[in-house]
Structure 1
Amino acid sequence: MALLAGKAIMSLTLIWGVVVAFGSHDLSLPPTSTSSDLEQDSKPFSLTGYGVTSDVETSRTARIMLISLIPFLILQLAKIIQSTSGIRVVVLVSLVVTLGLVLVYFIYQIFQPWIQNRRLEFVLRKYIRGNLLQNLLTAGRRPNVPVIREIFHKIDQNGNSYISTSELRAFVLGMEIEELGLHRADFVARVMEQFDTSQDHQINEQEFVTGLSNWLIIARDSVPHADRHFFNGNSSETKTEEQQRLITQNTTTPATTANDNDWLNYIQAGGLIILGTAITLVLGRPLVMTLVEFSFAANVPSFLISYVVIPLALNVGQAMSAISSAKQKTEAAISLTLSEIYNRVFMNNLMGLVAFLALVYIRNLSWDVSAEVLVVLIICTLMGLYTSFTTTFPVWTSIVAIVLYPVSLLFLYLLTSVLGWT
């Protein structure tokens, strides 16, 4: 629960504030402004005139995160109930509600996949910006049409001037798309959807040139001026010999349907979640004991280890990715980054709570985490409600959010170490 609280607090205060700070631009400019427009703006900086804007979907994601607080509210009843059997019932009810919310969240994404699509777009923009721009833009920062046409003919393995789903899938094999957190079928389906304007389930040369050029233009305009020199120079060869072979090899395996792949993805994801939860249940207590022993041996307060050091280590990757995305200073980049933060907090709250409550109920352990629960409730409620009802965040809100981080830790320290809540 200390790790759960530490990660949630850090994500919604420190990382959230840094995203707003790095993404801030003149709020008087329209949301569709490109990075070049932002650079030309000479309006004096102010805490209210500068900031970031997000889309409506970001507010919806924040509201979904608020739903994860329901089992935390139920746990607070344990402070009122005095009987052991009553507290055990509270734990069971909270556990059932938490599992139910996780299940409903998964089912919701199956029938309303907008959350998955935003996650896909977040990673896709990162991939294009990091891997394609330097290869497919000319020295004048325009899409290199001859190179794009050459790629089309490499993918068109049978030479019929069309790219089929199976040929596109063979090309994607060489992009190592799984390392970006996506499945090949997801990426192929998105490319076919956006490139196939004639809706004949294949992509001709002009559709490919137009579709990829549009992607490149969007990604190019989102690159901060400080990074543009990187994309103007000659790029080094990044694909390995094996990747080149995968791109040019003939496709001999029949393609499965997208629906079959989708259901396989769901089954695989569910299995990995169950496996991860089981590992957490088995290793939870030994991990905590090891941390306590380490803090004593290193003469470091266990409070700092549990609430600061480990959450910082677990969140450093997310923080760096968020800063990189926020520096694009566009509404789309900020919206996707904030949505990613709220999605992570949602899953962190529910999956962490499942592991804790399952351990407590199955092994009938004594517990008191009311301090952690209260702080998570306060921070998640404040940041969730704020984002739920506004899409504009002045730069002063980043200062407030960052200050909330040490204030939250101080409040947590007073509850646990001074007032003895735990």
Structure 2
Amino acid sequence: MEKEKLEIDPIMSKILKHAESQLLEGSLIREDGKPNFERINTLFRKYDNDNNNKISRNELEQIINTVQFENLHPKSEDVVNKIFFNFDKDGSNMIETEEFVKGLQNWLAKAIRVAKCSDKTKSVDKFDKIYSRVVMNNISGLTTLLAVVYAKDLPWDYSAEVLTILVVCAIVGILGVSRTEYPFWTCLLAFFLYPFSLALYCFVELVLHWN
């Protein structure tokens, strides 16, 4: 199902960042690393437009439509489905107060675990930065540059280098967005990418004569 395919961590980081921006001051996480339940409940009341102590799909979709997802571009319906999949534990098709608090508590715990900030109140901000997909943005920028070079028929003598960069960046990007923890083997992979990039460049340049 689509709700199971959608990557939740990058979406989660943007929603948490947006949620904190809705507060007049402070963080959803206290200095001791525990959730600030008072602010979480304040957030729930803000989102509960009809004051029935429940958040409907329509109310949630209105919230999602105000979130700046930047380069993620998810469908609001998919995000709503994913959040309900995580929060609506009784299957009532409504997110009640306790479900909202519990769901947000789990998300904040994930943010703290991934961000590993000494100042726990800044965990959401760092969590968001981790999932900003800088590597993928670089690939997009490079793709745009190549498109301009092609469209303008400009001279370009670095095809082998560009292909090598794209392949390595793609590997790092996929690894970065698919994991939140990095075991020792990922370090070995990172070291391996250097000789791999040299070998790939030599193959493209000397064997395929792509220059």
Q: TM-score range by the shorter chain?
A: 0.5 to 0.7
Write the letter of the residue equivalent to 2:107: W
Asked if structure 1 preserves the Cα contact closer than 8 Å seen for 2:56 and 2:93, the reply is yes
Write the letter of the residue equivalent to 1:287: Y
- Is 1:204 the counterpart of 2:57 in the alignment? no
Match of 2:58 in 1: 166
Q: Which has the higher helix share?
A: 1
How many residues of Structure 1 are paired with residues of Structure 2 in the alignment? 186
Structure-to-structure mapping, 1:96-111, within 5 angstroms: none
Match of 1:416 in 2: 208
Match of 2:46 in 1: 154
1:329 corresponds to which of 175, 181, 200: 181
Asked if structure 1 preserves the Cα contact closer than 8 Å seen for 2:53 and 2:96, the reply is yes
Write the letter of the residue equivalent to 2:181: K
Q: Percent identity?
A: 20
**Displacement of 1:141 after TM fit?**
1.6
Structure-to-structure mapping, 1:28-177, within 5 angstroms: 113=2, 117-127=4-14, 135-177=27-69
Structure-to-structure mapping, 1:18-417, within 5 angstroms: 113=2, 117-127=4-14, 135-177=27-69, 179-224=71-116, 227-229=117-119, 231-232=121-122, 287=150, 290-291=153-154, 293=155, 295=156, 302=157, 305-309=158-162, 312=165, 328-330=180-182, 393=185, 395-417=187-209
Q: TM-score, normalised by structure 1?
A: 0.37
**Displacement of 1:416 after TM fit?**
3.4
Higher relative contact order (CA 8 A, sep 6+): 1
Secondary structure of 1:157's match? coil
Q: TM-score, normalised by structure 2?
A: 0.68
1:259-300 CA distance string (max 9 Å, x none): xxxxxxxxxxxxxxxxxxxxxxxx98x818824x2x3xxxxx
Instruction: Mark the CA change 1:289 to 1:307 in structure 2 (over 3 Å): closer, same or farther.
Output: farther
Computing the radius of gyration from Cα coordinates, the structure with the larger value is 1
Q: CA RMSD in A?
A: 4.0
Secondary structure of 1:215's match? helix
Write the letter of the residue equivalent to 1:306: S
Secondary structure of 1:136's match? coil
Match of 2:133 in 1: none
For 1:321 and 1:130, how far apart are their aligned partners in 2?
23
For 2:182 and 2:186, how far apart are their aligned partners in 1?
14
Secondary structure of 1:197's match? coil
Secondary structure of 2:185's match? strand
